[in-house]
Structures are given as C-alpha cells and as structure tokens.
Structure 1
C-alpha cells in the first residue's frame, strides 16, 4: 500500500523543500552581510532588500487576497489537467494567471496602470509630451539625454510604442490592456519554441503554464515594455529552434528576422540575440559540422542593418550614436570594472541572485533533478546562459534589474525542464506558484 503523504496530489518527499531551505538560508546570510557592509559605510550600490533591485514594501495588499486565492486555485486545478487541453486553452489560462497574479496588488489600477504612470521617470511620461512622432524621431539623437531615466537609455521606439498606444486610446485601462495582450504573445512563442524543439505536446502545455507561474514573468510581463521585448526575443528563439531542427525553414527565418529587428528597436540589449546565435553556430559546427544556420543568420543581420540604414536616411536616426549616448549615460566614467571594481563585483553578484530569486527557489532547488538531453534544447540553454554571462562580465545591469530588464533569459532557463519527470515538474510548479503569490501579496517590484 502506498501511504506516502501528499500535498495537492504530490508526494511530500518529491517537494524540493530541503533545497529551498538551504537557498533561503543562503539568501538570509548574504542579505545580512549586505546590511553589515552598508552600515559600515562601504559603497556597493547594492539594494537594501538584497537582491531585489527595487522593492516597495513590505506592504500587505489585503484587497488582493481574493485574486491570489483564485490564482493559486487556478494553478492547482490547471496543473492536473493542462496536458489534455488545446493550445488555445493553455494560452488563455496562462493569460488569466498573469491577470490574477497582478490583481494581487489590489486592483487593476495598482496592478496594471500604476507601473506605467505612477512615477515620473517612465517611457509614458516622455510619450505624453510628443506632439508629432515623426519629428520627435528625427531629433531623437539631439534630445536623447534630456529624456527620462528609461527613455534616454533605450532606442526611440521604446517611447514611441507608448505614444502609438496612446494614439489608439488615451484611456489608461485600454492603454494597459494593449500592453498586456501584446506581451502575452510571448506565451504563444514560448509554446511554439517548445514545439519546434520536438517537445511532446503534453510537456509543451505544462511548461507554458509553468512559464506563467514563474515570479519574474508573472510580475513583470504584463506591466512593462520588457514584456513586449520578451515577446520579440522569444519569437526569435522559436525561429532559431525551427531552423536548427529544420522545421518550417522559411517561416522560422522570418520569425528570426522580425524578432531581431523588433527587439533591437526597443532595447540595445537586442544584441543578446546576435551573441546567442553566434554561440549556437559555434556549437553546431563543432559538434556536427552543421552550418544550416549560416544563411538565416545572414538574412537576420542583413535585414537589421537595412532597417537601421533606412531609419538613418529617412528620419536621420543614428542607432549607433544612440547606443553610444546610452552607454555614456549608464557609465559616465567608462568601464565599471576599472573605475569601480568593488561595485562591479557586487552588482554582478546581485544580478545573478535576483535572477535566481525571480526564477523561484523551487525551480532552483529542483535544477539537479531537471533533465535536458543532448539536443538543440541543451545548445540553446548553453548559448543563452553563456551570452548572458558575457553581458554580465561586460558590466551590463549596473544595479541589478535582471529579473525585469533580462526577462528574456527565462525561456532559456525553463528549457532545462523539457524531459523532467512529470511529478517532479508539478511539485516544483506548485511551489513556484506559491512563491509568486506571496511576492505579489507582500510588495511592489516595479520602478
């Protein structure tokens, strides 16, 4: 007779509680050391609530409790059934999980509108001052330094996207809904990524649902430009997977082209996609002398440079100049490693810790139990984490922010669970969702 004790249908012995306890203890020790260092007067720029870059709280969102109860109930109910659903049902339930999770902040206003408009440093505040989008773009290189905190360190289309949304409707509820729907397309591309990698249909559904439960995705995807960037970058990744596996080569190349152009017009970190592809090409050539990515990659590079050239000729927008200006704003004294080595080391550590926390302690603790065979999925994990490591070494993410500004790394990390035992996956997903609910209940993480 099987007398194992179970929690929501999962044997208690399969819950990664021991690993989570060790991770929590390590976090508390490091957070305590950070407080000691801060109180001693040593400047590291590390946040008070290490490793969360921005945390408004602790504050208890009492009015959000019913929504979070619904969020957890839906998560538990779905994890038992998701494998039997149609893809559209999975995607709609995933979107509902995002909505319920952010309503845990208390209301639609607090969960979906305030992140765009509450402070005075957002893209929105630059967008409302635009009178003519074309003229604004033509003079972007001249007025870039006068924009708000986020707008001046991004390409102009980061602000123009907000301007265009306001052109559709100045109603903030409609405005926020447009961003939510656009960002939610990332779930479609993530599902298609798994499909292109040859992952079983049932596991595609399970991992897509898990994607929506991950704290970083649930908290940030529907309330920021980073969700839109995630959708473009995941589109590119799906196309890359399709080319690697020889699936729908023409369409996959098109997805790569559109994803790369879209991402690079919204963030200078779109270069991450170029780095990922370079690493994948190197892996493919080294392992099997396979150069099938060569021509699609040339299409991507050629198309991107053509678009940037046309923007320069037609509107006078110089992308390279904007990138150099943004770099000078972020690092006015030059390379962080040289001028502030202690801050450089501390912020690298912070970035990795924040990325792990927002992946969830449950998934981190179950990393060793996860399984990815020697397939294109493993190549993409290596390429994604390798490129991200190079970006960190180069000094990107000076003050952390990896959970939001590097939201695009999470699809790569979740590929780790493509072949994991279903019961282990469900156990980790349940605890992952519980952490997300607690984080949504007890604070606000956007700036």
Structure 2
C-alpha cells in the first residue's frame, strides 16, 4: 500500500509468512518489524484504550460507559487464553479492520474498526508481528460487559457493520483517492485511518455511527463530535471560531507533539491520544497530518472570524469587576490567564479566541472548571501543568457566572451559561485520566 508504514522488513515478513510462519523471520527482520509495528500501534493509539494501570500493558479492562451499559476493552496481549495469542494473522486483520472476533462474533464499534478498515496490509502485518512477538503476554481476564439482555446480543451488530462500516475493499479504494500531493495523502491516511480522529471529532447518528468516515464523505467529517466522558470534541476543519481556522501548520504539529501550543492545551480524551499516540510520531508524519487538516474546508463557512475585543481587559485593568462573573475570574483565574485573556502559553493557555470556549456546547469548559485538568509531561515538553478543580470551592451559580464571563469576554461572544446547566453537567463530571490510570503524572 502506498501509505503504509511498510518497509523492506515487512516485505521479508510477508514472504516468510507465505513460506511458513512468523518464527522463520531472520532476527534483524523480526526486530525491524517489531519496531515498525510498535510505531503503528502508537499511531493507532492502541494503548489509550487497552492499557490500565496495574494490569499490564495492553491487558485491557478499560471501562466504556455507553447509553446501553458498560463494556470493557479487550486483552490484546499474546496470552492464548485471555488475549489474542491464538489469533492467526488473517483473524487478527479481520478483527482490526472488519470488527469480527476469532469466534465470528461482532465487536462493538467502541473499537474503531470502521477507520482501521483503511489501514494497509503492510501496517496490519507489522502490527500483528509486534503484538505477537514484541508484547509481553498477560494472563488476566477482563471484567464482563454489563450490557443488559437483549442489547447484549451481538447478532444485530452484523447488520450494523453491513450498513455503517465500509468493506476493506471500499475503504482501501478511498484511501487511494488522489489528493493535492503525497504529503497530504500521507496525512489523510494517518488521520482517517490509524489515527481514527473521526471517531471522536465527527458527529454520530441515531445508531451511534459516524456520519462521515473521511473527507470524501463531505464536510461533516471532523466537524466536531458529541460529548465523550463529558468533553465535547471540537471541529478539526477550517471553521472560524470553533475550528482550526487561524492555526498554522506548526501550531498543529506542536499540539500533537506536546499537547500544548500558543493557542491552547489538550484535556480529556485528547490528552490520552497525544500521550499514548501522536507524541511518538515522526515530525514528517505530524507535518503531513497538519497539512491535511489545513486542507479541509469549513463545515460552517458563514461563521465570522474571531477578533480580539479589549473591552473586558480594559475594565479589569481599571479595577472594574462589575460584569457577571468578573469578580470570580479576578479571584480565581486571572493570575494564570491574565486580565487580557491571553494567558502565558504554552504553560497556561489563552482564553481569548480559544475554540473550545466558543463552542455552542459549553460542557468542556464547565467540566474543566468543575473537575480541573492535568497536562502530563511529554517527551518534547517534560513539564506537567495542572489546573485545580473548583467544584468544591465555587457554587454552581459562581461557575455559571465565570464561564459566562469567559465565553463573552475578549471577543469570544458565546452564549451564556446558567446555574441549572452547571448542575446538570455536574452529574456527569468526568473522572480525570490520572485517576483512571490512563496517564501517569510524570
């Protein structure tokens, strides 16, 4: 495949499989394939869902709370009983790209197989070798899913897959569509395929299917998703105010590599994706992803551009905190985010012009104020930063007031938030990734 992470080692690996088995690979080819498969696993963000602290790497057990109940990620270590050690490469590929287990049962689409269907044969081969030969087996069963009958019956998932998940042939054909240049084509492969960015950043339909699986399906792709663990994924298209309009290629690369840049910081599930995934990618691949995202036309082309309004800053600097929420902001937020809302990036993100704050859905901002946030150290940015949780310090009315102030000030001009909205969101306040054991605090 043109866009796979497929190299000479993978070629010899396929030849060995045709002749016999993975065990017949030469040591140097095996080592190269394992390294390549590890890179594919990082690009695919496997660890974020399949690694829970205290269970061992890739031993599964991550809980996903869905409208139909809770399900737990699989053990994908090569343990033959509790993991995938008994899977052939063909069975492994079918599970990853088609959502079908070794026993023929359908996987739930919490596993992003509709995106992984786009992955190349070479990448799947390297990934298989890595999980079979480069990962330690862990003999741990995962908790049973708590989805009540009859919703627990997997047979209807066969219909779901037929209707909403592309065939591998169709997905591969779309992967090979011509784009502007090779770099953008590479970025499209990474974003739409292994990176499965649309799984969070694209809207879903009534059957929880992604409404668009690639940009060839239209501008709904990456136009912003529904809340996940309380946080609302933003648009990754060139939408003004709520998307990446105004972000440069270097802004996107820095964000994917470190979780922070001059325009904002990662939180929620995006922190997991960067910590376990994109921070490990090469600069060339990060630039390819950035160039592809910059090529996406806005989903809402009529949105006006954000322009800085100094009125709120002027009032605060003159000692006037009479606006709704301004006093709470001065007491609890101004020290890090400044009276002008520009923050001290990349340590403390700007609030002025931040796409998250101008979203129609204020849930992300409310949850960050309520529950706090931690940005762990990354390889290229080893410092960790934390924002305290204010749910035990501020009332629902105070949180509503300060969120309303932030969403209105400095030209943000987003809709106000009420105490009733904060109370409702408090019921679904997310648990931090640090507490869940997804991300270690360095």
User: Which structure: greater helix fraction?
Assistant: 1
| Higher RCO (CA < 8 A, seq sep 6+) | 1
When normalised by structure 2's length, the TM-score is: 0.29
Q: Kindly name which structure, 1 or 2, has the bigger radius of gyration based on alpha carbons.
A: 2
When normalised by structure 1's length, the TM-score is: 0.29
